[in-house]
Amino acid sequence: MVLLDIMKIPVDDPVAFTFFTGYMAMLAASVFFLFERSQVDGKWKTSLLVSGLITGIAAFHYYYMRDYYMATHETPTALRYIDWTLTVPLMCLEFYLLLKPAGAKSSFMWKLIAASILMLVAGYIGEAFTDGSTAHSVKWGVISTIGYVYILYSAWAGEAHQMAAKSDNPAVKSGIRALAWFVLVGWAIYPIGYMAMPGGWLSGVFAPNDLDLFYNVADAINKIGFGLVVYGIAIADSKKAA
């Protein structure tokens, strides 16, 4: 007889709890976004598809991250960065898709994607290959921050902001502002977590498990929230056109 090894969530381990709930929440969000594509105008279907891909990819990675954490109680750094390297460029793609009717060109999309990849690759090198020195952490952290600041600037004052301001669609204007807030506030947890690693400026302030807890909550809020903003724009504009 084969005995099933049932995974138990310790009642005193909020990190394990958020790994499981994050997985289920993002899986549910992915199903929701993909099914709701039939309810919006054709020009918004790709945006909702991308929203579903973002949460679906994240759910897939969280499925493995939860098992990794339960087996080792260590931070799944590589899996996190694989997830982010796929989902963050897709989140940048959402800016392009939303602003395409306002004149956004493919060059705008590629600049955002390139900035996000620079941010994530530099962050991974700084975190995964750390030697515990502040010099290593700061060097790669600064390079990573260049990508983040470019995206932040574009959302608040640069191309994304300017195109949204010229748009004649109120839903797009308010949606881009909401996404800009996600980049400013929601994404802020990630550089804070980076600085809290060994050798970082905030080293020792947070325990590794605390960072996993923050990352799990931030991932769910950012990815699902990003998608809900896009969904809100699509529904509002589709009803207006009906």
Q: What is the pLDDT of residues 13-27, one digit of tens each?
A: 899 999 999 999 999
Over the range 85-96, which residues count as b (16 or more CB within 10 Å of their CB) and which as e? bbbbbbbbbbbb
User: Across residues 84-90, what is the average pLDDT?
Assistant: 97
Q: Quote the percentage of the chain above a pLDDT of 70.
A: 96
| DSSP conformation class of 198 | T
Rounded distance, CA 47 to CA 96, Å?
Answer: 9
Q: What is the pLDDT of residues 181-206, one digit of tens each?
A: 999 999 999 998 888 887 777 777 77
Domains of the chain: 14-241 (1.20.1070.10)
Q: Are 119 and 127 in contact (CB under 8 A)?
A: no
Q: Is 106 exposed, middle or buried (0-12, 13-18, 19+ CB in 10 A)?
A: exposed
Count the Cβ atoms, other than its own, within 10 Å of residue 239.
Answer: 12
For the chain, give the mean pLDDT: 91
Spell out the residues 6+ positions from residue 238 whose beta carbon is closer than 8 angstroms to its own.
39, 40, 41, 44
